[in-house]
Each structure stands twice: as structure tokens, then as C-alpha cells.
Chains A and B, each alone.
Chain A
Amino acid sequence: AQKITQTQPGMFVQEKEAVTLDCTYDTSDQSYGLFWYKQPSSGEMIFLIYQGSYDEQNATEGRYSLNFQKARKSANLVISASQLGDSAMYFCAMRDSGQNFVFGPGTRLSVLP
């Protein structure tokens, strides 16, 4: 069965600094996708970034990058130059060959001015 672990319930970062949110996953599939979503206090789920299991390069989307270490089964999200608007819940998710879409427990990020 799939499992996503996010060990940081909450994180603080100073504005303009970089922050890394941890995610580890467990699957027996060779083909899978890893996703990060942001959920601000307004409640909507916003897709941020995707990494495929066969992608050799780490994914990047603007200030977001994904530090993918396949052997360690980790897919950490790095946010550079944090902004106050980055304060939100962040969820790591995985989709495997069964097309299931499972989320981790989330990390609450607070950006300090």
C-alpha cells in the first residue's frame, strides 16, 4: 500500500529565506508520480509541482523545486525566497500505477516578517 510521510507538523521561516519541507514515500511500484500542493487558509488546494519517478532531473517551478532522491524515497519541496503569502499547509502526494492519489498529513508553514 502507498504511504506518504511528512514528519514536520509545523515549520517557521524568515521572509526571503529558503525552506525545505520533507516528504518520504513508500511504494513497490517502479512508475509513480510525486506532487506537492498548497492549501492556504482559504481552503483551496493548489497544485505546485510534479516529479515523475523516471525523471532524472529535479523538477522546478519558479521559486519551487523538488529535491528528488529516489534511492531514499524522498521528495522534499524547497521554497526559495519565502514570501508572506507562502504561509499555508503543504501536502505531499503520490500517484502510482494503480492511479490512486494519496496525500501525506501535511506541514504547516509560517513565514515570519
Chain B
Amino acid sequence: DAGVIQSPRHEVTEMGQEVTLRCKPISGHDYLFWYRQTMMRGLELLIYFNNNVPIDDSGMPEDRFSAKMPNASFSTLKIQPSEPRDSAVYFCASSDRDRGGNTEAFFGQGTRLTVV
């Protein structure tokens, strides 16, 4: 497996524009996590899915953010409209269920978003 794949790797957009980040999890993993990383706030969990269903979106900063997982192999994180304070690295990670063994989260390479 190629691992968790995120696209694009870098995104520069103007304030007010819509931004869509994409993620392909590892095949067979039934958990998918979206994180945002900034210097000020560290690594924040935004939302996570189990079997394509959103379980906890309490970390989503505001209504401008939305995430979907239409099938087991694809998820999107959308920001509309984008603002400069959304500039960050966004990570997607996937995992199998923790069955009492070693079930770490596997991370994608991240998307570096810059909103100007």
C-alpha cells in the first residue's frame, strides 16, 4: 500500500476563496482523522470518521469548515470562505480499530495551506 495520500501538498489561495483538501486512506482502515498543525496551537484534531460516518467534529473551528467521507477510500476537508488564519499544515491519518494491539495512526504527508 502506498500509505495515506493527501493532495495537494501545497496550496496558496486568496482570502475568501474555497479550498478543498483531499485524502485517500490506507485500504482496509476504518478510521480517518483530520488534523491541523500550527505553531501556536500544535496538532489539533478537527474531525474523525468511523466507517465513513463522522463521529466527532467538535474540533472543527467554525462553520466555514466541513468534511465529508463519501466512501471508504476518499475524504475531503473544505474551507469556505478561507481566511488568513486558516494557514496551517493539514494532516490526514487513517487507522484500524484499536483491538488491544498496536494500531497506530498512519499519517499522510500533509497539505501546507497558505491563505493570503
Binding site for A on B (CB under 8 A): 31, 33, 35, 42-43, 45, 48, 50, 55-56, 89, 91, 93, 95, 97-98, 100-107, 109-110
Contact = CB atoms under 8 A, between A and B. Distances in A.
Interface residues of A, number: 22
Given A31-B100, A47-B104, A95-B103, 15 more contacts: A33-B98, A35-B104, A35-B105, A44-B110, A45-B91, A95-B105, A99-B31, A99-B48, A99-B97, A100-B48, A100-B55, A101-B31, A101-B93, A101-B105, A105-B42
3 A-B pairs closest in CB distance: A45-B107, A103-B43, A47-B104
Contacts, number: 56
A106 B40 CA distance: 12
Contacts of A47: 104-106
A100 B42 CA distance: 17
Majority SS at the chain B contact face: strand
A52 interface: yes
Nearest to B41: A105
Contacts of B110: 43-44
Given A33-B98, A54-B100, A101 B33 contact: yes
